[in-house]
Amino acid sequence: MTHSPTRYTAPPTAHPPTLPAVPPQPAPPPSRRTALAEAAERLRHAATTEPGRLRVIGAALALLVVAFGAVAAVQTAERATAAGDVLHRSQPLSSDAAAVYRSLADANTMATSGYLAGLQEKAATRERYEADIRTAAAKLATAAANSAPGSPSAAIITELNELLPRYKGLVEAARANNRQGFPVGGAYLRAANDMMQKKMLPAAEELYRKENQRLDADYAKATSYPWAAIALGVAALAALGWAQRRLCLRTNRVLNHGLVAATAATAVVLLWLVVGHSVARAGLDDSRAHGVRSLNVLHEARIASLKARSDENLTLVSRGAVTKELEDGTVMDAYEWAFDQEIDKLAKALARADRLADDTAGRKPVQRANASMKAWRSRHELARGANDSGDYQKARDRVVGIGARDQSTAECFDNVDASLASALAHETDEFERAARAGAAATTGLPAGSAVLAVLGAAGAVLGIGRRLSEYR
């Protein structure tokens, strides 16, 4: 029996389920360009045509001229303000600070002079002392009103206002005891002098230094060149020249009235800016060289004379109670040593003041002060000799001038002080004259530059507009 082979049949293959068809997604909308990009595109498209190029040139010229005028107005206004501050604020405040120092030193001098005179103290000496105290208080009030709260100057002014009544109380105690014949009056006067020399005058000197720093800052700001405005002015002129040359080459027309007017306005502003600032700078530099520098030296000379006079008086008040050991081991009266130092400072300051004086009116009072200083030195040596020999009364008369006024050192000191006051008045006038001339040189420049720049920009726009009208 025959068997047929068995045929293998593969099982049916399983098919995965059919998924529903996914509809195609629409393409994302194109991103919208920003307004800036669209404006740049329009500008690029416009620049491909001559009218478009002219519009771009006109807008650029107008913008450049207006920018020049604006920067010129701002920079000249800043410098004009600084020049006004030099004349009306910082230099007067510097002089006020010097007046505080001088008034305090002079009050100390008058206090010691009155003490030496005792019952013979003159009313003029007492009145001068009181006037010095009032002047110092008034100048401190002015300085306080012009100082920023919390500033170093404000702290110095506060300190001086606290010390001033304490100093005055010590002087009054010395005066009262002296009139009653109590020797303790000398101790009160020395304490008052120590307060003045070690606390009040150094503080006043620091105030003077800070006010001078403010004056220097105002000078630097007022005399710095407005380089940004000058650079923009040169660029505006160059751009206007290029635009006119371009139009001339394309149209064979030599002049475009609008662009010529814009060029003229820009040139006037630039010339006014350069010349006006140069004149202002020259005037301010002159006020500094022939005014402020001389004033500073004269202030130094007057302060040295006041301190020398105070030390001279205190030599007799202390009667050798205060000594100083020198480097070579020599011991001498401390106030005599201080007098020698201050009189040397006075001589050097007068020599510098004479060199700085630029006319006869300024030189003569300095020369008179120098002659009086030399006489003072000579008479002081006579008073010193009398004191060293034990003749206190003769030394006192040679210093105070009672009974021998025409041969006293007091006369020489008064002559030095009066001559220096005259020199200070002259140099103050010189400063104000030069500073006013400098400040006046830029009068109207900020407003004038702004107005002319607007007119120049309008001229540039009209000139380009005239050319554009030919394409219509």
Closest CA to 69 of 242, 307, 236: 236
What separation in angstroms does the CA of 51 have from each of 43, 57, 439, 460, 468?
12, 10, 47, 15, 6
pLDDT digits (tens, 9 = 90+) for 184-236: 888 898 899 889 888 998 899 898 888 888 888 888 998 888 999 999 999 99
Nearest to 297 by CA among 361, 340, 347: 347
Q: How far apart are CA 409 and CA 309, in angstroms?
A: 9
Distance from C-alpha of 44 to C-alpha of 48, rounded to nearest angstrom:
7
pLDDT band, very low/low/confident/very high, at 23 (cuts 50, 70, 90): low
What is the rounded average pLDDT of the residues 304-326? 80
Q: Tell me which of 1-5, 275-279, 348-352 is least confident.
A: 1-5
pLDDT at 404: 45
- Residue 131, pLDDT above cutoff 50: yes
- Distance in angstroms (rounded) separating the CA atoms of residues 100 and 84: 23
Residue with the bigger pLDDT between 445 and 43: it is 445
Helix, strand, coil shares of the chain as percentages rounded to 5? 80, 0, 15
Q: What distance in Å separates the CA atoms of residue 199 and residue 413, rounded to the nearest whole number?
A: 25
Residues 152-195 pLDDT 10s: 888 999 999 999 999 999 999 998 888 888 888 888 988 998 89
**Tokens describing residue 316:** 């007799």
- Euclidean distance between CA atoms 265 and 288, whole angstroms: 34
Ranges 266-275, 303-312, 314-323, 433-442: which has the least confidence: 314-323
Pairing of strands 331-333, 323-325: antiparallel
Mean pLDDT lowest for which of 51-60, 249-258, 443-452? 249-258
Which of 133-142, 236-245, 317-326, 423-432 comes out lowest in average pLDDT?
A: 317-326
pLDDT at 343: 93
Percent of the chain with pLDDT over 70: 88
- Is pLDDT above 50 for 1? no
Let me know how long the chain is: 472
How confident is the model over 79-84, as a mean pLDDT? 88
Write the pLDDT tens digit of every residue in 351-384.
999 999 888 888 999 999 999 999 999 999 988 8
pLDDT bin (cut points 50, 70, 90) of residue 27 is: low
- CB of 274 within 8 A of CB of 75? no
Distance CA 403, CA 283 (A): 51
* 136, pLDDT greater than 70: yes
Radius of gyration of the chain (CA): 41
Mean pLDDT of 289-312: 88
- Out of 2-16, 59-73, 132-146, 330-344, which region has the weakest mean confidence (pLDDT)? 2-16
> Rounded to whole angstroms, how far apart are CA atoms 472 and 464?
14
Strand partners, 332: 324
Give the model's pLDDT for residue 46: 62
In the structure, what pLDDT confidence band is assigned to residue 287 with cuts at 50, 70 and 90?
confident
Phi, psi of 279 (to 5 degrees): -65, -45
As a whole number of angstroms, the distance between CA 167 and CA 110 comes to 13
Task: List Cβ neighbours of 416 (8 Å cut-off, separation of 6 or more).
Answer: 305, 346, 369, 372, 373, 376
- In sequence order, the 6+-apart residues with CB closer than 8 A to the CB of 404 are 397, 398
> Region 382-387: what's the mean pLDDT?
88
* d(C-alpha 83, C-alpha 61), whole Å: 33
Q: What does pTM read for this prediction?
A: 0.73
pLDDT at 456 over 50: yes
Cα(423)–Cα(362) distance, rounded to whole angstroms? 6
- How many helices, marked H, and strands, marked E, lie in the chain? 15, 2
